């Protein structure tokens, strides 16, 4: 298993990566394509790397309000209006490509 890269160009679809927070994560090709266009600085990857934190004033993973999803990435500043949603599948936090605003 590989460490989670710090840029979207190095992410491969449906490959399992481990984060420093101990999470196993994977990304669908749709999620990667969207992120390559909208998250060029890798802020969402940094948030995923940090793991779950309280939802106020932090840039990490927070609980998703979307039905069927467990977490969403939250970033501050530019690009902070978008959230990448993920759900656990067999112990792996998978980002299938659902993106919302806030």
Indicate which CATH number applies to the domain containing 7.
3.30.2310
* Confidence check: pLDDT of 101 > 80: yes
Spell out the residues 6+ positions from residue 46 whose beta carbon is closer than 8 angstroms to its own: 6, 59, 75
Q: Which domain holds residue 79?
A: 2-101
Residue 2's pLDDT is what? 94
Taking the model in full, what pTM does it have?
Answer: 0.90
User: Exposed, middle or buried: residue 54 (CB in 10 Å: 0-12, 13-18, 19+)?
Assistant: exposed
Q: Is the pLDDT of residue 79 over 80?
A: no
Q: How many domains does the chain have?
A: 1
Is residue 5 a contact partner of residue 20, using CB atoms and an 8 Å limit?
no
Q: What is the pLDDT of residue 5?
A: 95
């Amino acid at each position: 298993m590989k460490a989670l890269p710090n840029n979207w160009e190095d992410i491969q679809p449906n490959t399992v990566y481990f984060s420093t927070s101990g999470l196993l994560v994977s990304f669908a090709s749709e999620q990667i394509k969207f992120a390559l266009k909208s998250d060029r600085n890798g802020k969402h990857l940094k948030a995923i790397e940090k793991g779950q934190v309280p939802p106020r004033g932090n840039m990490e993973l927070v609980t998703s309000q979307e039905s069927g999803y467990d977490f969403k990435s939250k970033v501050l500043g530019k690009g902070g209006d978008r959230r990448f949603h993920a759900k656990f599948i067999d112990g792996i936090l998978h980002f299938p490509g659902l993106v919302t605003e806030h």
